[in-house]
Chain A
Amino acid sequence: MVMPSKWPIYTTAWTCGAISDPDMSASRWPHYSLKPLVFLLCLLPLIALIYSGFRDQLGANPVEAISQSTGSWTLRLLLLTLTVTPLRRISGWSGIVRIRRMLGLFTFFYACLHFLTYLIFDQSFDLQEIIKDVSKHPYVTVGFTAFLLLIPLAITSTNNMIRRLGRRWRQLHQCVYIIATLGVLHYLWLVKKDLRTPLIYATLLLVLLIYRAWHRRRLSS
């Protein structure tokens, strides 16, 4: 039974719908709309790539275009993932943390696509060539290492794993800073001459790392 209210009768419809739902407290509401939205946004680069592919708009060297696009989106999403926590601290909007895992997993998703492009089109599954390439060429070495390091982070991203690993989960997931550094190095070292774009990524990463160092020092002092 609805309790008698001082509010005019026509307001009950929205007040009941929005506020009396126990799961819909003010701090939680964003995740209802945010998560599906972010999910779709993260898929857009892939959709754009497939669309351009079918319309023959990937240029003269489509494999290179796919490799560059998936590689760039891996780095962008990784940097975005690392931006979530500073953003939460600065804005005080704790709801944003809910998209961090999704961003991290999409980083891994694009890294997989990037690696598959290399495996299939660059190396045609030739294991010997891959070993040679990884061991001889530093930009491949760091890129491949970053990819390998992403795998345990993706596997341990479930709630169950977070519970089971406890303190060690945090330690393990601090690997992400090494991964991001390796990823940026991978880009810097493969560019022939024009370093502008990789330097933008390097700067963004540096800002994020400095922010974390600064935050940690502030906490300990």
Chain B
Amino acid sequence: MLIKSKNTGTLPASEITDHALYLDRRRFISTTARTLVAATLAPGLLATRNTKAAIRLGNIRPGPYNTSEARTSYKDITRYNNFYEFSTEKDEPARLAKNFRTTPWSVRIDGEVNRPGSYHLEDLLKPHPLEERVYRLRCVEAWSMVIPWVGFPLAEFLKRFEPTSQAKYVEFTTLLDPEQMPGQRRHVLDWPYVEGLRMDEAMHPLTLLTVGLYGKVLPNQNGAPLRLVVPWKYGFKNIKSIVRIRLTRTQPLSTWMKAGPREYGFYANVNPQVDHPRWSQSRERRIGDFFKRPTLMFNGYAEQVAHLYNGLDLRRNF
């Protein structure tokens, strides 16, 4: 009885037995039995259903630069994740990040800015209208996706803190919390994860700070609550669960540069002509496809970003 009264409020309309069914006694009984069984077993299920992964974000306007290519399914985007803070296996973060706490969340902004400080995430997000940007994502492991991100330009965000004329680079840091992030208990990488951009890359209108995908709040395994998205660079530049943004005079040393200086450079621009030292970058497998397709220069954003690298030897500055 207790179980029944506890859950009647959450019964979806589809579960309410209609009159015709009600008259069919046998089926009515089996439906009721199934509902009761579901209600008994459901607390866990309901909990996952109620996590913020399902929360829709309001007032999203379509943004520029959207690709019309077929979007990767929500299921695939949220179950195939490189998030070493949780696990080096791609199917694990979805499970291990389930109870990751993203509220309260604060972000420290410091370095070469006139308005440094530690801010609550809600206060940081409030002034920014949300946009949907459908971008290609190209992983350094030669697979790719098309993801409808929800976010806003990093440029608009950074301007609020008034970067000084000395600010040449932006350095981002992920949360360090081995208790919540089991992957950080092993020294696979030098935690916390650090990434960086040149100032002009950070201020480019393609560069996003994201808080969601597919119109919903960013799932934990995808880098909640705040994630960088730089679509013309390899996926590992898109740092997740950001707690610190520091503007610097010198080029930040990113985690992957530390882990393998021969293999991962500061720029990490998608470039089919420059192979990873160990594997080819000329083609990629779009998730959902069986066969590979050619990789595009700057992941297909050459028109927008190629000028940033005029005169730069991309073979040396990989």
Interface pair B287/A124, CB less than 8 Å apart: no
B122 contacts partner chain A, Cβ-Cβ < 8 Å: no
Cα distance A59–B278 in the bound complex, in angstroms: 25
| A124-B292 contact given A60-B76, A60-B79, A61-B143, CB 8 Å threshold | yes
Q: Which of B188, B189, B278, B290 contacts A137 (CB 8 A)?
A: B278
A6 contacts partner chain B, Cβ-Cβ < 8 Å: no
Cα distance A160–B291 in the bound complex, in angstroms: 42
Cα distance A137–B279 in the bound complex, in angstroms: 6
Interface pair B278/A61, CB less than 8 Å apart: no
Stretch in contact with the other chain, from A23-31, A100-108, A189-197: A189-197
**Chain A neighbourhood of B91, CB < 8 A:** 59
**Chain B neighbourhood of A136, CB < 8 A:** 275, 280
A138 contacts partner chain B, Cβ-Cβ < 8 Å: yes
**Chain B neighbourhood of A139, CB < 8 A:** 278-279
Cα distance A64–B144 in the bound complex, in angstroms: 13
Cα distance A132–B282 in the bound complex, in angstroms: 11
Interface pair A60/B88, CB less than 8 Å apart: no
Cα distance A83–B260 in the bound complex, in angstroms: 36
Interface flags for B76-120 (1: CB within 8 Å of A; 0: not) read 100110001000101100000000000000000000000000000
**Chain B neighbourhood of A190, CB < 8 A:** 278-279
A63 contacts partner chain B, Cβ-Cβ < 8 Å: yes
Interface pair B188/A193, CB less than 8 Å apart: yes
Interchain nearest-CB distance for B190 vs A (Å): 11
B177 contacts partner chain A, Cβ-Cβ < 8 Å: no
Interchain nearest-CB distance for A29 vs B (Å): 43
Q: Which of B80, B189, B280 contacts A59 (CB 8 A)?
A: B80
Interchain nearest-CB distance for A88 vs B (Å): 36
**Chain A neighbourhood of B288, CB < 8 A:** 60
We find that the number of chain A residues with CB closer than 8 angstroms to chain B is 21
B162 contacts partner chain A, Cβ-Cβ < 8 Å: no
**Chain B neighbourhood of A63, CB < 8 A:** 285, 290
**Chain A neighbourhood of B275, CB < 8 A:** 136-137
A121 contacts partner chain B, Cβ-Cβ < 8 Å: yes
B259 contacts partner chain A, Cβ-Cβ < 8 Å: yes
**Chain A neighbourhood of B278, CB < 8 A:** 137-139, 189-190
Cα distance A144–B153 in the bound complex, in angstroms: 46
Interface pair B84/A193, CB less than 8 Å apart: yes
Interface pair B280/A133, CB less than 8 Å apart: yes
Interchain nearest-CB distance for B138 vs A (Å): 14
Cα distance A194–B92 in the bound complex, in angstroms: 14
CB within 8 Å of B: which A52-85 residues: 59-64
CB within 8 Å of B: which A101-139 residues: 121-122, 124, 132-133, 136-139
Interface pair B80/A60, CB less than 8 Å apart: yes
Interface pair A192/B141, CB less than 8 Å apart: yes
CB within 8 Å of B: which A165-221 residues: 189-190, 192-194
Interface pair A60/B287, CB less than 8 Å apart: yes
Interchain nearest-CB distance for A210 vs B (Å): 28
**Chain B neighbourhood of A122, CB < 8 A:** 292
Cα distance A87–B288 in the bound complex, in angstroms: 45
**Chain A neighbourhood of B143, CB < 8 A:** 61, 64
| A194-B80 contact given A61-B285, A138-B278, CB 8 Å threshold | no
| A121-B88 contact given A59-B79, A138-B278, A193-B189, CB 8 Å threshold | no
Cα distance A63–B287 in the bound complex, in angstroms: 10
Interface pair A193/B88, CB less than 8 Å apart: yes
**Chain A neighbourhood of B279, CB < 8 A:** 137, 139-140, 190
Interface pair B287/A61, CB less than 8 Å apart: yes
**Chain A neighbourhood of B189, CB < 8 A:** 193
Q: Which residue of A lies closest to B282 (CB)?
A: A129
Interchain nearest-CB distance for A28 vs B (Å): 45
Q: Which of A62, A138, A194 contacts B88 (CB 8 A)?
A: A194
Cα distance A124–B90 in the bound complex, in angstroms: 25
Interface pair B280/A193, CB less than 8 Å apart: no
Interface flags for A133-160 (1: CB within 8 Å of B; 0: not) read 1001111100000000000000000000
| A61-B80 contact given A193-B189, A194-B88, CB 8 Å threshold | yes
| A193-B259 contact given A59-B91, A137-B278, CB 8 Å threshold | yes
**Chain A neighbourhood of B76, CB < 8 A:** 60
The 10 closest A-B pairs by CB, nearest first: A60-B80, A194-B88, A60-B76, A60-B287, A194-B188, A121-B290, A124-B291, A137-B279, A59-B91, A193-B188
Sampled A-B contacts (29; CB under 8 Å): A59-B79, A59-B80, A59-B91, A60-B76, A60-B79, A60-B287, A61-B80, A61-B143, A61-B285, A61-B287, A64-B143, A64-B285, A121-B285, A121-B291, A122-B292, A124-B292, A132-B280, A133-B280, A136-B275, A136-B280, A137-B278, A139-B279, A140-B279, A190-B278, A192-B141, A193-B88, A193-B188, A193-B260, A194-B84
Q: Residues of A at under 8 Å CB distance from B?
A: 59-64, 121-122, 124, 132-133, 136-140, 189-190, 192-194
